[in-house]
Amino acid sequence: MHPLVHKWLRERPEISISEQSLWCQVAATTLARSIPLPPLGETEIERQMRRELLPHALHIRERREEIRGVLIEYRDPRKSSWRKADGDFSRVQADESGRLSRMYYDCGLYREAKELQSKTREWIIQQLGEDHQFSIRLTLFLSETLRSSTMIDDATKLQRRARQLCVTSLGEDHPLTLEVTEILGMTLCFKGRWAEALKIHEKNVERLSEVYGPKHEKTLKAIRNCAAVDYRNMDYEKATGRLQMAWESMKELLGETDAETLWFLQDLATSYLRYDDEHSTKASPQQLIQSHDDLNFITKQRRETLGREHPFTLLAILHLARLKSSLGKHEEAKKIMDENLKIAVRNHGDDHIAVIAAKTHYANILVELNQYEEAEQIFDLVTQKARYKLFTDEDGDHPDRISAMWFQVKCLDKQGKSAGALRLCDSILIALRDVGGNRLGLNHKIVKMVERKKAELVQQISPVS
């Protein structure tokens, strides 16, 4: 910690309220100035440093509130020279807020990060204009925070606007344009606009390869994003092949335990979790065991660097539980999910997209344990269309909801509730028309799976004599 911060902490109780206010600002400024603004500060060591600053920043925030309360109490309303305790949002505050928001973001405190980024972005745009590169970077950073907060539609609008500004002012092949384009593609993939996302990522791989080279970190991330779309399109072998190559290159580039390398390994491990489909190659027991070990490794690394309750740690634990269930260890998987779902709900609420997805997988584990009643109660909640309104285009539908409905079909089928399962299949086919835009959802491989299941259910209900 900087000596000035130590000085404030040591002397604060013995000094006047005005001096306390001064030293509080000195401490806040010192902490903030140790955090670089994007695009600097992207190494894992720098991210870890920002996470370690959180307790100090929280203490400063707490003292600020106490000091502000005292100043308000002492304010004389008859004297116009007294200003509002908060003051005007100035350059100093904008700089401090922008920097500290990175710390909140790295710690998974997205609501706090969003509040600071929004104020900073608004001020910077007023000063520099919307098309300034710094304004665009702040817009991009805010959009990533919105996406992490599952405000996906808002994030998409910001990213589309940022890309338009980049293309107009910088051109299609400028590094910042390519960066914005890549992030937009990731968000579109999340929303289920897979055709558009894949087109963006594959084109970006070509451009990034030309600008940086085929083994550069940015190029490899674009390849990983292509694989993410392949996986959602159920092109499993293609996805796994891309991820294997990209992970090996990233491991060689940044090291096995780097945060970015771990994301590649996580995607590679989960690429072996596949829907039952006669046209897809199933993962072998050896592949599932290796994936299980990989996720154990990722979970251990994130617990050490991010903490037990960080969103990324919880995500790794979720995938680990899914792998355990795929290996037949359903009771162990359920126990893990029980513990960590409580943490996720407490920290992020029931309506966070990751929490909804976790509940869907938890219900699927309950089906494997023949605990149908509890599973159905969860499925009834996670298949409500209203729960996905923040994650989709207007009047659209979300692929995660369709996945939950498909799992529910299997739950009903295993209980012999063929009529209910058949109605749900029809609902899935209707929902697929609204995923991806222009009815592209009806081109997905799951359509044939649903139609085959419908035929089986019809046969069960009305067998041919």
Residue 296 lies in a domain: yes
Task: Please indicate, yes or no, whether residues 236 and 296 belong to a single structural domain of this protein.
Answer: no
The pLDDT, as a whole number, for residue 204 is 95
Domain count, the chain: 4
pLDDT on residue 181 = 96
Residues 6 and 115 in one domain: yes
Q: Which residues of the chain have pLDDT under 50?
A: 79-86, 465
Whether residue 378 is contained in a domain is answered as no
Closest by CA position to 31, among listed 117, 96, 121: 96
- Contact by Cβ (8 Å): 274, 291: no
227 shares a domain with 188: yes
Same domain, 416 and 348: no
Q: Quick check: is 371 in a domain? A: no
pTM to 2 decimals? 0.83
Rounded to 5°, the CA angle 311-187-121 comes to 80
Q: Does residue 256 lie within any of the structural domains?
A: no
- Interacting residues of 403 by C-beta distance below 8 A, sequence separation 6+: 360
What is the pLDDT at residue 84?
45
Is 237 within the bounds of a domain? Answer: yes
Cis bond upstream, residue 175 (ω within 30): no
Tokens read off for 182: 């890549």
**CATH code of residue 192:** 1.25.40.10
Is the domain of 36 the same as that of 102?
yes
Q: Are residues 460 and 428 in the same domain?
A: yes
d(CA 351, CA 356): 7
Q: What is the Cα–Cα distance from 336 to 229, expressed in whole angstroms? A: 28
**How much is the pLDDT for 80?**
45
- Say whether both 40 and 115 belong to one domain: yes
User: Residue 3 contacts by C-beta under 8 Å, 6 or more apart in sequence?
Assistant: none
Residue 349 and residue 397 share a domain? no
Quote the domain boundaries for residue 33: 1-76+84-128
- The answer to whether residues 158 and 195 belong to one domain is yes
- The torsion defined by the Cα of 457, 459, 463 and 465, in degrees rounded to 10, comes to 180
Which residue, 63, 93, 128, sits at the end of a domain?
128
Does residue 368 belong to any structural domain of this protein? no
For the chain, the three-class secondary structure string (H helix, E strand, C coil) is CCHHHHHHHHHHHHCCHHHHHHHHHHHHHHHHHCCCCCCCCCCHHHHHHHHHHHHHHHHHHHHHHHHHHHHHHHCCCCCCCCCCCCCCCCHHHHHHHHHHHHHHHHCCCHHHHHHHHHHHHHHHHHHHCCCCHHHHHHHHHHHHHHHHCCCHHHHHHHHHHHHHHHHHHCCCCCHHHHHHHHHHHHHHHHHCCHHHHHHHHHHHHHHHHHHCCCCCHHHHHHHHHHHHHHHHCCCHHHHHHHHHHHHHHHHHHHCCCCHHHHHHHHHHHHCCCCCCCCCCCCCCHHHHHHHHHHHHHHHHHHHHHCCCCCHHHHHHHHHHHHHHHHCCCHHHHHHHHHHHHHHHHHHHCCCCHHHHHHHHHHHHHHHHCCCHHHHHHHHHHHCCHHHHCCCCCCCCCCHHHHHHHHHHHHHHHHCCCHHHHHHHHHHHHHHHCCCCCCCHHHHCCHHHHHHHHHHHHHHHHCCCC
Q: How is residue 410 written in tokens? A: 């299997």
**How many CB atoms neighbour CB 77 within 10 A?**
6
Answer yes or no: do 13 and 121 share one domain: yes
pLDDT digits (tens, 9 = 90+) for 216-230: 999 999 999 999 999
